[in-house]
């Protein structure tokens, strides 16, 4: 067992079921203890400092985010065992690794060289490839988070920076260590896998030289160099220098992915190891682990690889040996980065992307978790943006000016960073999520359906005055009300049912549901039976939408595992569409100019737009400051739009043809907005929204003003809304955590009949469907059931 220090007064003697036996160390986030499980297994336990909780950490969100780290395959990483709360402070339990940090080894023994440096490079990039494949970004990769043991290097603390960053309030600061941060991380921009590769390059430079590549003097000076200067890498061996140089490009899109670097390093190994690696990431991870542990001989330092037919990485502003520091991508790899499965960063679509807020470039999904792409798996990048291409003087000048402007802003905040808002990050964990309700279902074109969502614990901005109201058209008098449950409840899900969508398979009308048990189920509402159960997600499905692609019915789903999946409902086969860097809470699908399109929203406030015919992500937009809880397709005149509802209390409308926000932001809810639906009153398009304030608002999308007063009646969060037609009359259906489903007249702004107590524990999703040729309401909830409710018209 690693050396431990005696426990001090005030240290816990037990944490959950673990006995605390000693101290291993203390850092910026907390104290690391050695612990013993009930079966005698030794573990490492990191208990976060109480001051982090006092500055606004959201424990539930922290646990939910770090839990994702358990998906990381154990290749050169410390396995995450669990995560729990001790009072208000989270603690993380992980495998206890026998070893000393790279930071300490270099300080006491000097720089690494030869085979030791090679094994370090292979082992650490193997770990990053496994981490990125799980949809996680480390965010705090540095020498102190690399442990050197008898079986090679192990990377620790992956996934926790992301969780800590999202769980802290905005006033709590930035997560990371400046000397090993990427330019985009220093600037407060969106952090994705290329940021880890920048940090990996700096860590390799430190290992080879014994000093931080951008110095270790004043914080403003270090930040300036990170943003504006190139490090001296002349001390690195020839076989590593070109790779590190590529990773330290100031432009994230020019850096190679972890899998590409791993392939390149393995290509230089003995022939049998390279053959075993092939172009398959699983075998390469295994080969990388064995190489890092010394199971295969490392090559002697030699000249860089000879130029091949593929593109090269050659960052602008190369140093004195620029002609020698060119790195050829491994053979068989497409120029697009290996995690750019959706055609995002490597090959941006033509046309202007959605406008992003300052400092947040459009994001791109991670790549195929199944393994490395085969040659030709991706199209060539658009002209002028080939990763690694050396820009001409004009491009270089623009890049320099852009960074200079960024530096001015970054340096302004450097004193605040130095004052202690920068924090490093703990070990990784396990979490059993609460019954979170995150979803979105959507019918095609002007979808009139809305799935369910989870309450947000993140503080929201101050409330805004109620918007002006606009008049509403009259509606033909008639009485619509619930007429009892139609048949028995549909049972089959093992946990809460989060989202619903309806569509047709051939001539049969079906309902598709997604649940916390990770399954997608297809139901025949007329026959009251399950048709099929589909599996693919690793964890909860939060959102389901239905759409037709080339005449074939499909479902699009998003979930806790960060993935977006596309399901052919006819063949009942699913495939990965792409990744978000965080859980996907909302999905909508429809047709845009005749093309099938899906829009997905996540816990970072990002929207991704997907072309379902080409199976590619085409656009990304930073839409909100907080969770995107729901999405709904609709029409405003001739415009096809999608409406987003967020935990930041706002709604926004996005013109999918013109690729920009349409109209003003809707502000009226004084708490998180969980649900949204689109419909028409007469010829007039409308938007309905509901949320944590227990109220439903109806909006005119052309004016962004509310129509009439809010609808009141629910005693819990309004988690789902859907418009529908009953004998020519427009109705609005709502579902709430109070367990009831309500029917509303959106014109008269009054309830229709009495509410029905539909589900124990809460209603998570509702829709208006047709059963045996008659309109009905379908609902789903926490009690694991789907129910159908008859409607009566008099």
Q: What local confidence, expressed as pLDDT, does residue 249 receive?
A: 95
Q: What local confidence, expressed as pLDDT, does residue 326 receive?
A: 44
The yes/no answer on whether domain 478-793 falls in CATH 3.20.20.70 is no
pTM exceeding 0.75: no
Which helix H or strand E contains 530, and what residues bound it?
strand 529-535
Taking residue 15's Cβ as centre, other Cβ atoms within 10 Å add up to: 18
Distance CA 456, CA 58 (A): 10
Helices marked H in 85-192 — which ranges?
A: 102-109, 114-133, 160-167, 183-186
Residues with Cβ within 8 Å of residue 140, at least 6 apart in sequence: 157, 160, 161, 175, 176, 177, 180, 199, 424, 425
Residues with Cβ within 8 Å of residue 528, at least 6 apart in sequence: 487, 488, 490, 788
Distance CA 169, CA 52 (A): 10
Q: Which two tokens stand for residue 130?
A: 């496994």
What positions carry a catalytic annotation? 140
**What is the per-residue burial (b if ≥16 Cβ within 10 Å, else e) of 443-469?**
bbbbbbbbbbbbbbebebeeeeeebee
Q: State the virtual CA torsion across 73, 75, 76, 82 in degrees, nearest 10.
A: 20
Residue 574's Cβ-side half-sphere holds a number of Cα atoms within 13 Å equal to 21
Which residue ranges in the chain fall short of pLDDT 50? 52-56, 73, 159, 161-175, 269-281, 284, 295-477
Query: Which sequence spans correspond to the domains of the chain?
Result: 478-793
Q: What local confidence, expressed as pLDDT, does residue 176 receive?
A: 56
Distance CA 132, CA 126 (A): 10
Distance CA 428, CA 157 (A): 6
Strand partners, 565: 557, 576
Closest residue by Cα to residue 582 from 619, 542, 614, 611: 542
Q: Which 3-state string (H, E, C) describes 398-464?
A: HHHHHHHHHHHHHHHCHHHHHHHHCECCCCCCCCCCCCCCCCCCCCCCCCCCECCCCCCCCCCCCCC
Helices marked H in 58-151 — which ranges?
A: 59-67, 102-109, 114-133
Closest residue by Cα to residue 782 from 448, 489, 537: 489
Q: Which two tokens stand for residue 652?
A: 């926004």
Strand partners, 523: 511, 530
What are the DSSP E strand ranges found in 569-692?
573-579, 584-592, 595-602, 606-611, 616-622, 628-636, 639-646, 650-655, 660-667, 673-681, 684-691
Q: Which two tokens stand for residue 186?
A: 């220093």
**What is the per-residue burial (b if ≥16 Cβ within 10 Å, else e) of 398-411?**
eeeeebeebbeebb
CA dihedral (35, 38, 42, 47) positive or negative: negative
Sheet containing 563-568, strands listed edge to edge, beginning at the edge strand earlier in sequence: 541-549, 552-559, 563-568, 573-579
Q: What share of the chain is helix, strand, coil (3-state, %, to 5)?
A: 20, 35, 45
Q: Which two tokens stand for residue 354?
A: 């959605």
Which helix H or strand E contains 155, and what residues bound it?
strand 152-155
Q: How far from 588 is each of 545, 596, 633, 718, 781, CA to CA, in Å?
A: 5, 11, 6, 19, 20
Distance CA 205, CA 202 (A): 5
Strand partners, 90: 85
């Amino acid at each position: 067992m690693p050396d431990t220090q005696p426990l001090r007064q005030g240290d816990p003697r037990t944490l959950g079921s673990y006995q605390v036996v000693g101290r291993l160390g203390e850092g910026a986030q907390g104290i690391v203890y050695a612990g013993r499980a009930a079966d005698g297994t030794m573990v490492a336990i990191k208990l976060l400092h109480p001051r982090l909780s006092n500055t606004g950490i959201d424990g539930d969100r922290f646990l939910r985010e770090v839990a994702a780290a358990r998906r990381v395959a154990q290749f050169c990483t410390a396995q995450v065992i669990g995560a729990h709360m001790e009072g208000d402070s989270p603690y993380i339990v992980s495998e206890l690794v026998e070893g000393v940090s790279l930071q300490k080894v270099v300080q006491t023994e000097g720089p690494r060289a030869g085979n030791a440096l090679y094994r370090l490079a292979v082992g650490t990039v193997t770990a990053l490839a496994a981490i990125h494949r799980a949809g996680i970004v480390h965010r705090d990769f540095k020498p102190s988070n690399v442990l050197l043991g008898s079986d090679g290097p192990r990377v620790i603390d992956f996934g926790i920076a992301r969780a800590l960053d999202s769980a802290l309030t905005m006033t709590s600061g930035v997560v990371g260590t400046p000397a090993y941060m990427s330019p985009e991380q220093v600037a407060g921009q969106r952090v994705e896998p290329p940021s880890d590769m920048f940090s990996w390059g700096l860590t390799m430079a430190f290992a080879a030289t014994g000093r931080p590549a951008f110095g270790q003097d004043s914080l403003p000076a270090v930040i300036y160099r990170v943003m504006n200067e190139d490090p001296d890498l002349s001390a690195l061996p020839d076989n590593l220098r070109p790779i590190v140089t590529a990773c330290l490009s100031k432009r994230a899109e020019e850096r190679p992915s972890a899998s590409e670097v791993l392939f390149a390093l393995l290509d230089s190994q003995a022939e049998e190891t390279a053959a075993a690696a092939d172009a398959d990431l699983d075998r390469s991870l295994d080969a990388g682990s064995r190489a890092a542990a010394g199971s295969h001989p490392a090559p002697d330092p030699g000249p860089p690889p000879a130029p091949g037919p593929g593109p090269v990485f050659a960052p602008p502003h190369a140093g004195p040996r620029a002609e020698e520091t060119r790195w050829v991508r491994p053979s068989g790899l497409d120029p697009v980065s290996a995690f750019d499965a959706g055609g995002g960063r490597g090959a941006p679509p033509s046309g202007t992307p959605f406008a992003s807020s300052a400092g947040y470039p459009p994001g791109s999904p991670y790549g195929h978790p199944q393994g490395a792409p085969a040659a030709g798996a991706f199209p060539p990048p658009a002209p002028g943006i080939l990763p690694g291409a050396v820009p001409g003087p004009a491009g270089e000048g623009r890049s320099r000016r852009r960074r200079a402007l960024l530096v001015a802003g970054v340096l302004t905040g450097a004193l605040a960073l130095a004052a202690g808002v920068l924090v490093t990050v703990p070990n990784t964990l396990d979490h059993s999520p609460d019954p979170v309700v995150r979803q979105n279902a959507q019918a095609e074109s002007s979808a009139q359906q809305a799935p369910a969502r989870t309450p947000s614990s993140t503080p929201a901005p101050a409330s805004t005055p109620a918007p002006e109201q606009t008049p509403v058209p009259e509606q033909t008098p008639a009485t619509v009300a619930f007429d009892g449950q139609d048949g028995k409840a549909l049972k089959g899900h093992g946990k809460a049912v989060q989202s619903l969508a309806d569509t047709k398979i051939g001539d049969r009308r079906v309902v598709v549901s997604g649940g916390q048990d990770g399954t997608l189920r297809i139901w025949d509402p007329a026959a009251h039976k399950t048709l099929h159960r589909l599996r693919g997600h690793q964890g909860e499905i939060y959102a389901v939408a239905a759409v037709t692609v080339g005449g074939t019915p499909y479902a699009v789903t998003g979930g806790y595992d960060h993935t977006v999946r596309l399901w052919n409902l006819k063949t009942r086969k699913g495939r990965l569409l792409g990744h978000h860097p965080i859980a996907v809470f909302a999905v909508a699908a429809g047709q845009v100019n005749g093309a099938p399109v899906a829009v997905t929203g996540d816990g970072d406030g990002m929207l991704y737009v997907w072309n379902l015919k080409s199976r590619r992500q085409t656009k990304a937009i930073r839409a909100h400051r907080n969770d995107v809880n729901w999405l709904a397709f609709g029409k405003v005149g001739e415009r096809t739009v999608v409406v987003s509802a967020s935990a930041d209390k706002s709604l926004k409308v996005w013109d999918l043809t013109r690729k920009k926000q349409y109209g003003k932001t809707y502000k009226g809810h004084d708490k998180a907005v969980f649900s949204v639906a689109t419909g028409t009153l007469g010829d007039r398009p409308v938007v309905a929204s509901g949320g944590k304030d227990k109220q439903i608002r109806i909006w005119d999308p052309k004016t962004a003003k509310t129509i009439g007063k809010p609808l009141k009646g629910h005693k819990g969060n309004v988690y789902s809304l859907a418009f529908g037609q009953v004998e020519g009359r427009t109705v609005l259906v709502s579902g709430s955590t109070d367990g009831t489903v309500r029917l509303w007249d959106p014109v008269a702004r009054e309830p229709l009949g009495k509410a029905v107590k539909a589900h124990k524990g809460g209603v998570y999703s509702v829709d208006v469907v047709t059963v045996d040729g008659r309109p009905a309401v379908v609902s789903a909830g926490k009690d694991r059931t789907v129910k159908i409710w008859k409607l009566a018209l008099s």
